[in-house]
Structure 1
Amino acid sequence: MTWPPPYPAPRHVAGAPAPPAGSYAADVVILALDRAEETIEAIASARAQAGVTKHVWIADQGSRPESLQRLAEAVRGAPDATLVRLDRNWGVAGGRNRATALGRGRVVFALDNDAEFDGPDTLARAVAALDEDAGLAAVGCRILVHATGEDDLSSWGYPAALLPRAAQGFDAVTFVGAGHAIRRADFARCGGYDDALFFCWEEYDFCLRAIALGRRIRYRGDIAVRHKVSPERRFAWTGTRWFHYVRNRLYIEMKFGASPLALLPRFLAYQAKGARNGVLAQGLRAGPAAVRMARAFRPAPGTEALYRLDEAARAYIARNDAAHRGGLARRVRTEVLSRLPPARAGTAAS
């Protein structure tokens, strides 16, 4: 498998016309869709990272002209940052794929456009975490509320039982998109993100493929980004967010060999949660949509092993995820009967 595929070259808008010559440590990827003020602050935070060679990529996916102009002014003449305009909104998965393909850094750090690095050495420490542990494919950052420094609970993507360890580190089966670092070689081996997901669960889908190859994912509570609360251009639960959440999760399970019948209990649990939260119609539509996506999915030639979880991979998942979720009663209480959190984490653009 060759990655990246031959993506059309995006339109260069402002900043450096190309990444640095020769080798360098990291590409920082920021997707943009309006939110100009927050995005400019995210860019400034990325450019201010010290102690590491880097290039900052801002991929715009359809901002209004006035917002795009502000972004262009923020990086005009910058030697370490590039603003490009993609041909359309590819969502989180497709947008990050296309932005990542532009660089050559051995590590790719994705930063939400309403987030900032916690300190000037955050990027350097994320790169070092991957350099020091050859078994890691990716590192997930601790996500803090920008204004308070407290844990952003709506961005906690791990079992609730692990929340007391938020300041520590542990192996995991996913990472949170708001701030994470991926080894470029592993990103390529796994084929990047699945464009079809558009938004939601794309990180988990990537991590399953990495785990299938014997790689590990590590949460690092000592490496943090600060996440802001911004309602602009968000996917609300009452819009299509719950639809994407349910559809993509079921689709991923079917990609990895689960039958629709075997997923019926999960589907019904989602409907119970959707009914409790007033989004039942979205969940009901998501089931048939997931089946259609799974039927259309075909692994690229030579990549079939990415979608087979052997005994070692399943043991890794059981040890680092299922073991922390408790029995059926606890899972029903925490995962089915709970309210949906505010739509703070993840958007169509970031």
Structure 2
Amino acid sequence: MTAPVTVVVATRDRRDDLARSLPRHEGPVILLDNGSADDTAASVRRRFPHVEVVELGRNLGAPARNTGVRLAATPYVAFADDDSWWAPGALERAADVLDAHPRLGLLAGRVLVGPQQRPDPVCSRMAASPLGTEPDLPGPSVLGFLACGAVVRREAYLAAGGFDDVVFFFGEEERLALDMAAAGWGLAYVEDVVAHHHPSPARSPRARRALAARNRVLTAVMRRPWPVVARTVLAAARDGRDGRAGLRAAVPRLPRALTGRRLLPPAVEAARRALDAAAHAPAPVTGTPPS
């Protein structure tokens, strides 16, 4: 039986990665091509005729997924990157969980990385979320997720506006998670819904660190109190050359971030602060202390 889940994949110039990942998807697949120059769209149509290909003509970043969610004819949508896929049966399990928990707007699954299938470090943090498990949710509450390991309730995602073009790409998940929680939807980590991620080697660690710094600042500007914004800016400034590059890159996007600024409800802000505090808590001491 096919699960009522559509897989939405956004891609740009990753034709070879798609050749490995697309055959592994179960159920309907919508591919959003962000202006690829490597013949991605034609190649996918030729090799995978069951995949619905949408050529966007330019790079829309993470918000390209919004088009896929709007086109999906199923109540649930699973995201995948061009170098990731869902484990066999994972989407059927996700649909069952979402059916059983009507307030659940987003299910964050466990992401296994590379051939060694190492759990992504984010998964252990979600499993140990200080927010606990609410009675009507299937696992620990979260206010962040990995896009390639997320299954969303379509109506909840669209009501929250989907991904935004201020953040654009990398770290785009936080603002969406905050807005879904602000609207009353639950977000939970469910360990037995599994995705596989084999990251493409075509990545620049330094560029991604700068992007992360830029987008943390922009997300804070859009949703957090000004003292939190100030601390976020200061942390980026102290984070070496990459952090400062991220701050410079944030400046041209600040007018749009300020236009969309809307503070979180107090309960969601308190939950986000609890996560901030947990992230900066000292690691527990292990082993036997010296006598």
TM-score bin, normalised by smaller chain: 0.7 to 0.9
Instruction: Tell me how far apart the structure 1 counterparts of residues 126 and 89 of structure 2 sit (CA, whole Å).
Output: 29
Give the CA deviation at 1:144: 0.6
Structure 1 equivalent of residue 212 of structure 2: 245
Report if aligned partners of 2:217, 2:247 keep a CA contact under 8 Å in 1. Answer: no
TM-score (norm 1): 0.70
**What amino acid sits opposite 1:183 in the alignment?**
R
Report if aligned partners of 1:75, 1:83 keep a CA contact under 8 Å in 2. Answer: no
Tell me the percent identity.
25
Give the CA deviation at 1:238: 2.7
Give the CA deviation at 1:104: 2.1
Matches within 5 A, 1:43-82: 43-46=22-25, 49=26, 54-76=27-49, 78=50, 81-82=51-52
Structure 2 equivalent of residue 109 of structure 1: 78
Deviations 1:82-133 (Å, cap 9, x if unpaired)? 11211211012x2111222212210011011101222x21111111121111
**What amino acid sits opposite 1:222 in the alignment?**
D
Structure 1 equivalent of residue 171 of structure 2: 201
Distance change >3 Å, CA 121–CA 170, structure 1 → 2: same
**What amino acid sits opposite 1:193 in the alignment?**
F
Instruction: Tell me how far apart the structure 2 counterparts of residues 247 and 169 of structure 1 sit (CA, whole Å).
Output: 31
Deviations 1:278-320 (Å, cap 9, x if unpaired)? 425413414534533323x247xxxxxxx4422332344355x
Deviations 1:119-170 (Å, cap 9, x if unpaired)? x2111111112111112110111111230122133xx27748939xxxx942
3-state DSSP of counterpart to 1:251: helix
**What amino acid sits opposite 2:219 in the alignment?**
I
Structure 1 equivalent of residue 143 of structure 2: 173
Distance change >3 Å, CA 218–CA 257, structure 1 → 2: closer
Structure 2 equivalent of residue 31 of structure 1: 10
Structure 1 equivalent of residue 279 of structure 2: 325
Report if aligned partners of 2:223, 2:263 keep a CA contact under 8 Å in 1. Answer: yes
Report if aligned partners of 1:172, 1:219 keep a CA contact under 8 Å in 2. Answer: yes
3-state DSSP of counterpart to 1:101: helix
**What amino acid sits opposite 2:22 in the alignment?**
I
Give the CA deviation at 1:182: 0.5
Give the CA deviation at 1:196: 2.2
Distance change >3 Å, CA 266–CA 106, structure 1 → 2: same
Which of 207, 220, 238 is residue 272 of structure 1 equivalent to? 238
**What amino acid sits opposite 1:134 in the alignment?**
P
* Structure with greater contact order relative to length (CA < 8 Å, sep ≥ 6): 1
Structure 1 equivalent of residue 133 of structure 2: none
Instruction: Please say if 1:89 is aligned against 2:59.
Output: yes
Structure 1 equivalent of residue 286 of structure 2: none
Paired residues, number = 274
Instruction: Tell me how far apart the structure 2 counterparts of residues 262 and 82 of structure 1 sit (CA, whole Å).
Output: 42
**What amino acid sits opposite 1:184 in the alignment?**
R
Instruction: Please say if 1:221 is aligned against 2:191.
Output: yes
**What amino acid sits opposite 2:234 in the alignment?**
L
3-state DSSP of counterpart to 1:223: strand
Give the CA deviation at 1:70: 2.3
Instruction: Please say if 1:142 is aligned against 2:105.
Output: no
Which stretches in structure 1 are left out of the alignment for 5+ residues? 1-23, 300-306, 332-350
Structure 2 equivalent of residue 127 of structure 1: 95
Distance change >3 Å, CA 161–CA 68, structure 1 → 2: closer
Instruction: Tell me how far apart the structure 1 counterparts of residues 244 and 236 of structure 2 sit (CA, whole Å).
Output: 11
TM-score (norm 2): 0.83
Which of 238, 254, 275 is residue 291 of structure 1 equivalent to? 254
